[in-house]
Structure 1
Amino acid sequence: MTDSKAPASEQATAHEPLTFRVGMLGALIAPFVFLIGVIAYFVVFAVFDMNALTASGLAGLIIAALFSRKYSRFWDAVISGVSSRPSVTLLLILLTVSLVSALITATDVSGGFVWLASTLGVSGGVFIAVIFLMACAISMSTGTSIGTLFTAFPIFYPAGVLLGADPLLLAGAILSGALFGDSLAPISDSTIVSASTQRYRRKVGTAEIGGVVRSRAKFALPAAAVSAILFLVIGSAVSPGTDMSAADIVDATGAGPLPLIMLVPIALLLFTAFWKRDIFLATTVGLIAGTVLGLVTGLLDFSDIISANDDGTPGGFLVAGVGDIIPLIGLGIVIFGMIGVLQEAGVFDAIVNAASRSAFARTPRGAEVVIGLGALATATVFAGVNGPSMIMFGPVADRIGAAAGLHPYRRANVMEGFTLGLGSVVPIVSSFLLIASLLTQGHEGVPEVAAPAIFLGAFYPLALTLVIAISVLTGWGRRFEGEGGAESRTPVPPVD
Structure 2
Amino acid sequence: MENKNLKPKANGAALLPFIVFVLVYLATGIILNSMGVEMAFYQVAAPVCILPAIILAFIMFKGSIDDKFNDFVRGCGDENIIIMCLIYILAGAFATVSKSSGGVDSVVNFALSLIPVQYITAGIFLISCFISISTGTSVGTISAVGPIAVGVAAKGNLPLSLVLGALVGGAMFGDNLSVISDTTIAATRTQNVGMKDKFRANIKIAVPAAVITFVILLIVGKPESEVVLDDLNYNFILIVPYLFVLISALAGMNVFLVLTSGIVLSGIIGIFTGGLTMMTFAQNIFEGFSGMFEIFLLSLLTGGLSYMVSSNGGIEWLVEKIRSFAKDVKSAEISIALLTLLTDAATANNTVAIIIDGPVAKEISRDFKVDPRRSASFLDTFSCVMQGIIPYGAQILIAAGLTKELGTLAVSPVQIIPFLWYQALLAVFAILSIFIRFADPKDKWDFENDVPLSENNINAK
Q: Same fold (TM over 0.5)?
A: yes
Query: Is 1:169 the counterpart of 2:169 in the alignment?
Result: no
Match of 1:437 in 2: 400
Sequence identity (%): 23
Q: Secondary structure at the match of 1:441?
A: helix
Q: Residues 169 and 57 (structure 1 numbering): CA distance in 2 closer, same or farther, change over 3 Å?
A: same
Which residue among 322, 326, 335 is the counterpart of 1:370? 335
1:321-470 correspondence to structure 2 within 5 Å: 321-358=288-325, 361-383=326-348, 385-421=349-385, 423-444=386-407, 446-470=408-432
Q: Secondary structure at the match of 1:98?
A: helix
1:207-222 correspondence to structure 2 within 5 Å: 207-222=193-208
TM-fit CA distance, 1:215: 2.5
Which residue among 94, 105, 109 is the counterpart of 2:99? 105
Match of 2:452 in 1: 486
Match of 1:245 in 2: 228
Give distance in 2, aligned partners of 1:165 and 1:323.
39
TM-fit CA distance, 1:301: 2.5
Q: Which has the higher contact order (CA 8 A, sep 6+)?
A: 2
What is the RMSD of the two structures over their aligned residues, measured on CA atoms?
2.7
Q: Tell me the alpha carbon deviations over residues 67-117 of structure 1, each in whole angstroms, 9 at most, x when there is no partner.
A: 334451433332222111111111111111111111222133343344345
Q: Residues 157 and 48 (structure 1 numbering): CA distance in 2 closer, same or farther, change over 3 Å?
A: farther
Q: Tell me the alpha carbon deviations over residues 149-184 of structure 1, each in whole angstroms, 9 at most, x when there is no partner.
A: 222223432344334432111111111111111111
Match of 1:96 in 2: 90
Decide which moves more: 134-143 or 451-460: 451-460
Query: Is 1:37 the counterpart of 2:14 in the alignment?
Result: no
Q: Tell me the alpha carbon deviations over residues 273-298 of structure 1, each in whole angstroms, 9 at most, x when there is no partner.
A: 12234110111221122211222222
Query: Is 1:129 the counterpart of 2:122 in the alignment?
Result: yes
TM-fit CA distance, 1:466: 0.8
TM-fit CA distance, 1:245: 2.5
What stretches of structure 2 of length at least 5 have no aligned partner?
Answer: 455-461
Counterpart residue identity of residue 35, structure 1: L
Whether contact under 8 Å (2:329, 2:368) holds in the other structure is: yes
Match of 1:313 in 2: none
Q: Secondary structure at the match of 2:173?
A: helix
Whether contact under 8 Å (2:136, 2:179) holds in the other structure is: yes
Q: Residues 92 and 129 (structure 1 numbering): CA distance in 2 closer, same or farther, change over 3 Å?
A: same
Whether contact under 8 Å (1:362, 1:403) holds in the other structure is: no
Q: Secondary structure at the match of 1:439?
A: helix
1:173-322 correspondence to structure 2 within 5 Å: 173-198=166-191, 206-236=192-222, 239-242=223-226, 245-246=228-229, 249-250=230-231, 255-258=232-235, 260-306=236-282, 316-322=283-289
Give distance in 2, aligned partners of 1:303 and 1:156.
33
Counterpart residue identity of residue 91, structure 1: C
Whether contact under 8 Å (1:114, 1:156) holds in the other structure is: no
Give distance in 2, aligned partners of 1:461 and 1:146.
15
Query: Is 1:471 the counterpart of 2:436 in the alignment?
Result: no
Match of 1:311 in 2: none
Counterpart residue identity of residue 266, structure 2: G
Q: Give the TM-score taking structure 2 as reference length.
A: 0.88
Counterpart residue identity of residue 336, structure 2: I
Q: Give the TM-score taking structure 1 as reference length.
A: 0.82
Q: How many residues align?
A: 444
Whether contact under 8 Å (1:31, 1:338) holds in the other structure is: no
Which residue among 144, 147, 151 is the counterpart of 1:151? 144
What stretches of structure 1 of length at least 5 have no aligned partner?
Answer: 1-10, 199-205, 307-315, 489-496
TM-fit CA distance, 1:13: 8.8
Give distance in 2, aligned partners of 1:17 and 1:223.
41
Give distance in 1, aligned partners of 2:269 and 2:438.
42
Whether contact under 8 Å (1:51, 1:331) holds in the other structure is: no
Whether contact under 8 Å (2:157, 2:225) holds in the other structure is: yes
